[in-house]
Amino acid sequence: MTRRRALVTGANRGIGLAIARGLAARGCHVFLGVRDKAAAAEVACDLDADAIALDVADADSIKRAVEEIGSLDILVNNAGVLGAGRLLDDPEDFERSMSVMVHGPYLLMHLFTPAMVRNGYGRIVNVSSGWGAFSDGVSGPAGYGVAKAALNALTVASARTLPDSVKVNAMCPGWVRTRMGGASASRSPEEGADTAIWLATLDADGPTGGFFRDRKHIAW
């Protein structure tokens, strides 16, 4: 059987690295999307993966990465940034949040999904957050919650326009011990990554257009 080809953005540490490890353990050929390709070389070697220079806030970087990778079966939009302060205080923070967590994922989906549709298979996982859920008041700091809410909307709308063979879902990893989540967080990166790995490897009858935590539907 041909190995599934998977790209994980922000894969050099934390949840992204745990997702990459999980997909590699399941036999996928993993591409680690990282801004510093040299810094990810050792991890790539350990996983028998390929490190790809990719800045999701830079359209040209995205296009170069897509050209280098070629076709893809699995896309995990994991890269994120966490600002601070109030939403309307910092336009630069808002723009960066939207670039990294909405515009970048959109462009990657735009470029990769045509081949997925032609091949009759695709799995897209958007790593979101409860802080981006309207059911939780879009409570993230600065631009983070709004960007994650927009990523959720992108998930719903794109799932509606793609065939069922290309499944698009969002997930919340919970509060995870990463550089973003902090050392006091309640979950390990592996626990945070589990639902993303599950969604990335769904069977043909799996869900699409949903929002999940711990493999269970949660409210938008």
Residue 104, phi then psi, degrees to nearest 5 = -60, -55
Q: Catalytic site residue 106?
A: no
Name residue, tokens 């493999």: 215
Catalytic residue (choose from 94, 144, 211, 212): 144
CA dihedral 36, 37, 41, 47 (to 10 degrees): 100
Q: Most distant CA pair in the chain: distance in Å?
A: 52
Would you call 177 helix, strand, or coil by DSSP? coil
Print the SS3 string covering 41-96: HHHHHHHCCEEEECCCCCHHHHHHHHHHHCCCCEEEECCCCCCCCCHHHCHHHHHH
Nearest to 220 by CA among 171, 167, 187, 168: 171
Q: Tokens standing for 41?
A: 């070389």
User: What is the set of active-site residues?
Assistant: 144
